[in-house]
Amino acid sequence: MTHPDFANIDACLFDAYGTLFDVHSAVAKEAAALGDKAQGVSATWRDKQLQYTWLRSLMGEHTDFWQVTGDALDYALASQGVDDAGLRQRLMDLYLTLDTYPEVPGALKRIKDSGRKTAILSNGEPRMLASAVDSAGIKDLLDDVITVEAVGIYKPDPRVYRLGTERSGAPAERICFVSSNAWDVHGAANFGFNCAWINRFGQQRERLPGAPKAEVRTLDEVAGLLGL
């Protein structure tokens, strides 16, 4: 049964990193090289990656997400006392081919087959997003891949979410926005999207403006909200 808040949806926009793609899968493939430092590197890499997007946006010092990802990895490795140029390069290369969460291809197909537009709306840099999408084999399940580089600032700036309306051709109230990142959900909801938060790991809700219309654990459940 369709969730009432998702009854009139023309387009579904998906965050990429942490939502469709498992951002910790790169370090997982180099776990043997990192040993007991793997978890710390992976967690710090992701934390700093996000922090640098927000701080650069506030500073008015935009650079693309590939540079931010490299800067964050350098911090993470240094924080764990790891100095290995070859390992750094392998981790960056792996970020171009991140694993999707298991249910992602099937759920995307259900949504696209329903006639709704599907698109990524991401902080990612165009080439790294293209690589991840191609590697995952989900290109044909997406109508568009929208990147913040068109506006030169990161989420949760409203200009990023506005890109979603412009590129999809759907008004905000007829867009379902999906993210595993709670701060991103609040930003998109505050803009006016109908948001579904994929809370994969049982996190607490943020205390921020805007709120998701639904909280689920997987992308399959988002398809269920749409009555699929």
pLDDT tens digits, one per residue of 110-132: 999 999 999 999 999 999 999 99
Q: How confident is the model at residue 3 (pLDDT cuts 50, 70, 90)?
A: very high
pLDDT, one tens digit per residue, over 24-44 is 999 999 999 999 999 999 999
Q: How confident is the model at residue 185 (pLDDT cuts 50, 70, 90)?
A: very high
Quick one: fold of 25-95?
DNA polymerase; domain 1 (1.10.150)
Query: In Å, how far from its chain's centre is CA 149?
Result: 15
| Numbered ranges of CATH 3.40.50.1000 in the chain | 4-22+99-225
Statement: the pTM of the whole predicted model exceeds 0.95: yes
- Mean pLDDT, the chain, rounded, equals 98
d(CA 96, CA 108): 20
Is a pLDDT exceeding 90 seen at residue 1?
no
Is a pLDDT exceeding 90 seen at residue 228?
yes
Q: How confident is the model at residue 184 (pLDDT cuts 50, 70, 90)?
A: very high
Q: What value does the mean pLDDT take over residues 7-26?
A: 98
CATH of 4-22+99-225, one of 3.30.365.10, 3.40.190.10, 3.30.920.30, 3.40.50.1000: 3.40.50.1000
pLDDT, one tens digit per residue, over 196-225 is 999 999 999 999 999 999 999 999 999 999
Query: Angle 65-79/85-95 helices, nearest 10 degrees?
Result: 140
pLDDT, one tens digit per residue, over 129-181 is 999 999 999 999 999 999 999 999 999 999 999 999 999 999 999 999 999 99
Question: Which amino acids are annotated catalytic?
Answer: 15
Q: Classify strands 11-14 and 175-179 as parallel, antiparallel or unpaired.
A: parallel
| Numbered ranges of CATH 1.10.150.240 in the chain | 25-95
Q: How confident is the model at residue 85 (pLDDT cuts 50, 70, 90)?
A: very high
